Structure 1
Amino acid sequence: MTLSPDVPESLVDVAETFGLGVALSLMQHFGGQEVEFPRRKPSAELVKVLGEGVAAQLCHFLSGQRLYVPHGRSRMRRLDVQRLADTGRGRREIAATLGISQRHVRRLANRPPDQLPLFPDD
C-alpha cells in the first residue's frame, strides 16, 4: 500500500494495517499525546474515537504499547504554504491566510524537501 507522505513515521504501521482514516483519527483526537493501548479492553476514549471493533483490533495489534501520536501540524502547514505558493500567492498573502508570520512562511518555503529513504522497501 502506498501511503501519503503526510503520515508520520510513528503511525505508518497503523495506517498500513487499519487504513489512513484510523491514523488520521488518532492524530485528530490524540495529537501531541502519548496513548497507551491496553492488552485487553480498549479505553472508553479509544472506543469513542474509533468505534468498539477497530479500537479492540488496534489494542490487540499494539498490545500494551505506548505510542506517541504526533499532531502533524508542522508538516501540514508546510504543505499548505507550498500549495498556496503554487497558486501564485505572495508570502504576505499566504501568511495572512494561514495566520502565521511572513518569516515563518519564508522558513517553510525555503526548507529543503524531506529526504527520500536511501533503501526503500519496494
Structure 2
Amino acid sequence: MTRQLPVRLDDLPTSLVDVAETLGLRVAVGLMQHFGGLEVKFPARPRPDHPIIKALGETDGLALCHFLGGQSIYVPHNRAGSVRADVLKLEAKGLDRASIARVLGISQRHVRRVANRTDDDRQRDLFD
C-alpha cells in the first residue's frame, strides 16, 4: 500500500524512459510523485505559478516543459505490489470501497473494477 518509486532507469514505466534519459531519473521520478495517475498537458511556455513549475522547481519544470511542450501524456503511478491484492486485503478488513479508494489513492470506480474481476474474466485462447 506504499508507493515504491523507481531508483533505476530499468524500473521506470516505459512511457517515462525518454524523460529520464533526456532530463534525468530525478525529473521522471518527480513527475510520477506529483502527477502519477493523471493526464498532464505540458505548456511550451509555462508561467511561474504553473503546477509543473511549482512541483518540480523552476529548472526541472522548465526543462520538462521545453522537452514535452504542447503534448499531453498520461503520467503512470508506480505502485508497489498488486493493486488487486491491496484492494482484497482492505476489503477483508471490512473497509468499504470509498475508503479503499482513499487509502490507495485510486478511484472508487477502479476499486470496484478490480474487486469484481475474477480470473475467469481473462480472454480464453480460441484455439485450445
TM norm structure 1: 0.56
Which of 8, 16, 23 lines up with 1:11 in the alignment? 16
Residue 41 of structure 1 aligns with an amino acid whose one-letter code is: P
Equivalent residues in 2 for 1:45-84, closer than 5 Å:
45-73=51-79, 76-77=80-81
Give distance in 2, aligned partners of 1:49 and 1:13: 20
Identical aligned pairs, as a percentage?
A: 54
| Greater RCO, 1 or 2 (C-alpha within 8 Å, sep 6+) | 2
Instruction: Give unpaired runs (5+ residues) of structure 2.
Output: 1-7, 90-128
Structure 1 stretch displaced more, 60-69 or 3-12: 3-12
TM norm structure 2: 0.54
Q: CA deviation at 1:32?
A: 0.4
What is the number of equivalent residue pairs in this alignment? 79
Give distance in 2, aligned partners of 1:100 and 1:22: 33
Q: CA deviation at 1:62?
A: 0.7
Q: CA deviation at 1:63?
A: 1.5
TM superposition outliers: structure 1 runs of 4+ over 4 Å: none
